[in-house]
């Protein structure tokens, strides 16, 4: 009952990016705290949900981890339509994936959903020796396009929770509560603890 003051926000979040950029790895690190060296290709899109507590609200992310394969590109709108946030992922060791990321940003901006929060994630930041995309280049691009930018590493868990928290903070608080309050109340205590462990 002490939680009645907090707001609950449901947020659809989609991950986009080239094959092998590390979308699934980021999600698995965020949702399950796991990392697998040889992550298999995603088929279609995988669905995850994760709830975190930010300031005065709990945010329940409904995450679509899309496949990077070319054949699924035309299906991407199915997953990003109506999304509150998107993380466009590239691999800092692979310039092609950065180019591909820019195309995704363009496509998202072309959709006209101005409220969508878009993050740019330069993944595999642990592979400093193999870096091909400089932080400055990506940072500049992000500023020009009104994205927020972080370099992440799913392997070393660097900035993974942070990027999701940053998105959660930026989500509009005024979002109408979609679920009847009575239903949501049951979930809140659980969600809070899950969120707390994520923060630490």
Partner 1 sequence: MASNSTSTLHLDNDNNHDDGQNPIPNPNPSSPKTSEESFRSLTINEPDDIDKEDSAALANGSMDPDHGVRDEIEVSGDLKESVPGAEAAVVAEIVEEEVEGPSERSPSPSSSGYAGERGSSGGGIEEADEDDDGGLTVEAGSDSATEMQDDAFMSWRKRKKHFFVLSNSGKPIYSRYGDEHKLAGFSATLQAIISFVENSGDRIKFVRAGKHQVVFLVKGPIYLVCISCTEEPYEALRGQLELIYGQMLLILTKSVNRCFEKNPKYDMTSLLGGTEAVFSSLIHSFSWNPATFLHAYTCLPLAYSTRQAAGAILQDVADSGVLFAILMCKHKVVSLVGAQKASLHPDDMLLLANFVLSSESFRTSESFSPICLPKYNPMAFLYAYVHYFDDDMYLILLTTSSDSFYHLKDCRIRVEKVLLKSNVLSEVQRSMLDGGLHVEELPVDSSVSSGTLSPHLGPPPVGIGGPAGLWHFIYRSIYLDQYVSSEFSSPINSSRQQKRLYRAYQKLYASMHDRDTGAHKTQFRKDENYVLLCWITQDFELYAAFDPLADKASAIKICNRVCQWIRDLENEIFLLGASPFSW
Positions touching partner 1 (CB under 8 A) are 19, 24, 28, 40-48, 65, 67, 69-72, 75, 78
CA atoms within 13 A on the CB side of 119: 28
CA angle 16, 22, 25 (to 5 degrees): 110
> Min. distance of Cβ 98 from partner 1 in angstroms?
18
DSSP 158: B
> Min. distance of Cβ 147 from partner 1 in angstroms?
26
Nearer to partner 1 among residue 74 and residue 200 (C-beta): 74
Nearer to partner 1 among residue 17 and residue 147 (C-beta): 17
Task: Calculate the alpha carbon distances from 6 to 61, 87, 182, 199 in Å.
Answer: 16, 26, 14, 17
Nearer to partner 1 among residue 47 and residue 193 (C-beta): 47
> Min. distance of Cβ 68 from partner 1 in angstroms?
8
Are 44 and 19 within 8 A, CB to CB? no
3-state SS, residue 175: coil
> Min. distance of Cβ 170 from partner 1 in angstroms?
25
Nearer to partner 1 among residue 70 and residue 143 (C-beta): 70
């Amino acid at each position: 009952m002490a939680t009645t003051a907090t707001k609950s926000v449901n947020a659809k979040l989609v991950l986009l990016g080239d094959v092998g950029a590390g979308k699934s790895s980021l999600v698995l690190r965020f949702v399950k705290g796991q990392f697998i060296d040889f992550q298999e290709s995603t088929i279609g899109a995988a669905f995850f949900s994760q709830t975190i507590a930010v300031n005065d609200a709990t945010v329940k992310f409904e995450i679509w981890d899309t496949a990077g394969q070319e054949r699924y590109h035309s299906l991407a709108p199915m997953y990003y339509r109506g999304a509150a946030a998107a993380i466009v992922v590239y691999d800092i060791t692979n310039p092609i994936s950065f180019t591909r990321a820019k195309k995704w940003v363009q496509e998202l901006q072309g959709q006209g959903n101005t409220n969508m929060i878009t993050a740019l994630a330069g993944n595999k930041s642990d592979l400093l020796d193999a870096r091909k995309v400089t932080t400055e280049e990506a940072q500049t691009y992000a500023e020009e396009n009104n994205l927020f930018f972080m370099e992440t590493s799913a392997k070393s868990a660097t900035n993974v929770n942070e990027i999701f928290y940053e998105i959660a903070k930026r989500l509009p608080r005024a979002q109408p509560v979609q679920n009847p309050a009575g239903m949501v109340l049951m979930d809140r205590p659980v969600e809070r603890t899950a969120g707390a462990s994520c923060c630490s």
